[in-house]
């Protein structure tokens, strides 16, 4: 079976094509050029204008015709309403016009499943970090359970907002990472609540500090503080769950310093650490396609009425029948 | 002296009846941050553990503090995390009500535990000991108390999901018996949850 997946939860629009044996045949991602934060309506507009081209490009890359697609999947949530709806409508159109089944997939679980697929991790504790999410997730009896998460904004959002408000530019992650290479440590608020975290106070303090401190020092300290918090709660979750594998997913996972810190922690606890390649680390269509295949092949069937979007679709709401 | 556990942030050694808890250096953290966290948490833990006991919550007696090392009495029991899913319903409810009472006693005295999960509670006989106060603080705000309860609630959801509701109900019963400010805290708990990313309406 061949599945086409459409990802559209935020500023990225992705179309991926994956076969049942786990081969990624195409994975095309296009994103809206950003000059500020993401405007949901404008991002949705971008997706609507580009879906045809992205779809064509993905099919071309895979060497397939739309008639070869046997299942279509889309990102059902969590994400921005207008963006989610463009992905859902596109998927419904493909499903109806080609008479093929459709499934709505949870975006967070998509990240985890494509991570497992490409790295070979079997039952990992997952740190999922991106512009919109920061969660520590592990599987247990039929569901992905959230062991820790941010109580306010996501880590990626914290770094992006910092970069925007200090004039460093967009997207903030790679820029802050570059500046952080030559900084020195300044104390910033470090907020961990059990396995949960908070980044909003850190953002405010870093912005305040940036007014009269060296920007490289602030970038360095912001990264060190935010990532130490993430590694600490992940470490606590490793001890709590006793899992012996760790998987890093989400756009912020591309950051080398975060990877390095997690690797050091994993080594200390004798845990195998897995990092998927950058092409599947951030939002992409292949992860939706692969999760769609897993769901469909284990019996999930969605009628057209079931294909609504859910903006606050949590990973722990999904009944997992493929594991 | 025997290494008995490698926890998330500390190594635990057992020397006769004494637990030696050493917050070890984390290679992933910059030295300044690492040292600040380890020292302040060790100090805080020792202080809050004594405060908590005075408030009526069983905790291990502290024998000595030295830098990143704290020595305390060994509580020979079982982590509530491992007990809760296996006991009968009545016992489960009793345990959770007792935990709620302890939380109420802490909050009545403005003590925030900071990591109130079932990993950090030990059942010995029919008493429940609270340990691991390293993330705690003295704080009289409704917000801090609300977050403290949220941490416990989420540990039920992730680790004791089959009994989430009955455990939480029993906890709240115990909490409200001990702490008269409970209404404000529970109300705040709701608004803290809604503030989170992708809060599911349940």
Query: At residue A200, what are phi and psi to the nearest 5 degrees?
Result: -70, -40
Confidence of residue A170 (pLDDT cuts 50, 70, 90): confident
Q: If DSSP codes are grouped into helix, strand and coil, which group holds residue B129?
A: strand
Instruction: Assign domain A123-277 one CATH number from 3.90.226.10, 3.40.30.10, 3.30.365.10, 3.30.420.40.
Output: 3.30.420.40
What whole-number distance in Å separates Cα of residue A175 and Cα of residue B140? 40
Sign of CA dihedral B110, B115, B117, B120: negative
**What local confidence, expressed as pLDDT, does residue B199 receive?**
63
The region of weakest confidence among A25-29, A56-60, B197-201 is B197-201
The predicted pLDDT at position B202 comes to 43
Read off the pLDDT band of B6 (50, 70, 90).
Answer: confident
Distance CA B121, CA B127 (A): 10
| B window 86-125, beta carbon within 8 A of A | 114-117, 119
The Cα-based distances of B148 to A193, B30, B103, B132, B141 in angstroms read: 8, 28, 9, 14, 11
Query: How many Cβ atoms from other residues are within 10 Å of residue A34's Cβ?
Result: 16
Name the architecture of domain B2-73: 2-Layer Sandwich (3.30)
User: In the predicted model, is pLDDT for residue B200 greater than 70?
Assistant: no
A147's CB contacts (< 8 A; 6+ apart) are A125, A136, A137, A138, A195, A237, A240, A241, B154, B158, B159
* Proportion of chain B above pLDDT 70, given as a percent: 97
What is d(CA B54, CA B43) in angstroms, rounded to the nearest whole number? Answer: 17
Contact assignment for B30 to A185 by CB distance below 8 Å: yes
A2-111+280-317 shares its CATH topology with A123-277 = yes
Distances (CA, A) of B25 to A48, A221, B7, B21: 51, 19, 13, 13
Q: Identify all chain A residues contacting B27, using CB atoms and an 8 Å cutoff.
A: 264-265, 268
The dihedrals phi and psi of B4, each to the nearest 5 degrees, come to -105, -20
- Asked if the C-beta of B29 comes within 8 angstroms of chain A's C-beta atoms, the answer is yes
DSSP state letter for B29: S
Q: What is the pLDDT of residue A59?
A: 98
Q: What are the chain B neighbours of A194 within 8 Å (beta carbons)?
A: 114-117, 135, 151, 154-155
| Architecture in CATH for domain B78-195 | Orthogonal Bundle (1.10)
Closest-CA distance, B158 to chain A, in angstroms, reads 5
Helix (H) or strand (E) holding A141: none
Residue in B28, B115, B200 nearest the CB of A312: B200
Q: Is the dihedral of CA A308, A314, A317, A321 positive or negative?
A: positive
In chain B, the residue whose alpha carbon lies closest to the alpha carbon of A261 is: B28
Nearest to A196 among B8, B28, B154 (CB): B154
Query: What per-residue confidence (pLDDT) applies to A140?
Result: 93
Q: Where are the domains positioned within chain A?
A: 2-111+280-317, 123-277
A98 contacts A67 by C-beta, under 8 angstroms: yes
What single DSSP character describes residue A28? E
The dotted CATH code for A2-111+280-317 is: 3.30.420.40
Contacts of B65 (CB under 8 A, 6+ apart): B42, B43, B46, B71
Respond yes or no on whether the N-terminal peptide bond of residue A171 is cis (omega within 30° of 0).
Answer: yes
Q: Cα(A276)–Cα(A253) distance, rounded to whole angstroms?
A: 9
DSSP character for B181? T
Provide the ipTM. 0.90
Q: State the Cα–Cα distance between residues B107 and B111, nearest whole angstrom.
A: 5
pLDDT for A33: 79
**Percent of chain A clearing pLDDT 90 (strictly above):** 95
Are A128 and A254 in contact by the 8 Å Cβ rule? The answer is no
What stretch of H or E contains A236? helix A215-241
pLDDT exceeds cutoff 80 at B197: no
Q: Which of residues 47-76 of B touch A (CB under 8 A)?
A: none
pLDDT at A18: 98
Give the residue extent of every domain in chain B. Answer: 2-73, 78-195
* pLDDT of residue B35 exceeding 70: yes
Average the pLDDT over A104-109 and give the result: 97
Mean pLDDT over residues A68-87, rounded?
A: 97
Count Cα atoms within 13 angstroms, Cβ side, for A310.
18
3-state SS, residue A99: coil
Distance in angstroms (rounded) separating the CA atoms of residues A93 and A60: 19
Per-residue pLDDT of B132-188, as tens digits, reads 999 999 999 999 999 999 999 999 998 999 999 999 999 999 999 999 999 999 999
Q: Could you give the CA distance from residue B119 to residue B101 in angstroms, rounded to a whole number?
A: 18
Partners of B3 in the beta sheet? B13
């Amino acid at each position: 079976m061949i599945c086409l997946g459409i990802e559209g939860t935020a500023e990225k629009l992705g179309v991926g094509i994956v076969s049942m044996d786990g081969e990624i045949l195409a994975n095309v991602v296009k994103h809206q050029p950003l000059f500020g934060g993401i405007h949901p309506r404008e991002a949705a507009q971008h997706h609507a204008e580009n879906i045809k081209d992205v779809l064509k490009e993905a099919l071309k890359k895979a060497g397939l015709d739309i008639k070869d697609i046997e299942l279509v999947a889309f990102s059902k949530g969590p994400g921005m309403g207008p963006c989610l709806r463009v992905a859902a409508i596109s998927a419904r159109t493909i499903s109806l016009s080609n008479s093929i089944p459709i499934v709505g997939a949870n975006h967070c679980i998509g990240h985890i499943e494509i991570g497992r697929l490409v790295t070979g991790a079997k039952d990992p504790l997952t740190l999922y970090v991106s512009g919109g999410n920061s969660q520590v997730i592990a599987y247990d009896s039929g569901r992905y359970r959230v062991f820790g998460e941010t109580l306010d904004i996501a880590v990626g959002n914290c770094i992006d907002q910092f970069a925007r408000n200090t004039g460093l530019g967009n997207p903030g992650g790679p820029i802050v990472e570059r500046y952080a290479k030559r900084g020195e440590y300044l104390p910033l608020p470090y907020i961990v609540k059990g396995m949960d975290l908070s980044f909003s106070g850190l953002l405010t303090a870093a912005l305040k500090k940036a007014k009269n401190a060296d920007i490289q020092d602030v970038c360095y300290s912001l990264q060190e503080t935010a990532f130490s918090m993430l590694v600490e709660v992940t470490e606590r979750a490793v001890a709590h769950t006793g899992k012996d594998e760790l998987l890093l997913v989400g756009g912020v996972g591309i950051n080398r310093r975060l990877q390095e810190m997690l690797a050091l922690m994993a080594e200390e606890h004798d845990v195998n650490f897995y990092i998927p390649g950058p092409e599947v680390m951030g939002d992409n269509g292949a992860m939706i396609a692969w999760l769609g295949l897993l769901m469909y092949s284990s019996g999930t069937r969605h009628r057209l009425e079931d294909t609504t979007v859910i903006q606050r679709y949590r990973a722990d709401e999904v009944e997992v029948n493929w594991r | 002296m025997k290494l008995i556990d490698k926890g998330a942030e500390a190594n635990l050694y057992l020397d006769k009846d004494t637990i030696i808890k050493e917050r070890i250096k984390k290679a992933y953290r910059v030295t300044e941050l690492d040292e600040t966290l380890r020292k302040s948490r060790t100090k805080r833990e020792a202080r809050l553990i004594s405060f908590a006991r005075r408030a009526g919550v069983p905790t291990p007696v502290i024998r000595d503090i030295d830098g990143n090392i704290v020595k305390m009495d060994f509580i020979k029991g079982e982590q509530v995390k491992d007990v809760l899913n296996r006991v009968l319903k009545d016992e489960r409810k009793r345990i959770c009500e007792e935990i709620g009472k302890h939380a109420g006693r802490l909050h009545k005295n403005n003590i925030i535990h900071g990591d109130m999960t079932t990993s950090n509670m030990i059942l010995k006989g029919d008493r429940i000991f609270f340990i691991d106060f390293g993330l705690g603080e003295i704080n009289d705000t409704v917000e801090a108390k609300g977050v403290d309860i949220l941490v416990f609630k989420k540990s039920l959801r992730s680790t004791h999901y089959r009994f989430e509701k009955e455990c939480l109900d029993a906890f709240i019963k115990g909490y409200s018996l001990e702490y008269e400010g409970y209404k404000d805290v529970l109300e705040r708990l709701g608004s803290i949850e809604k503030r989170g990313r992708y809060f599911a309406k349940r």
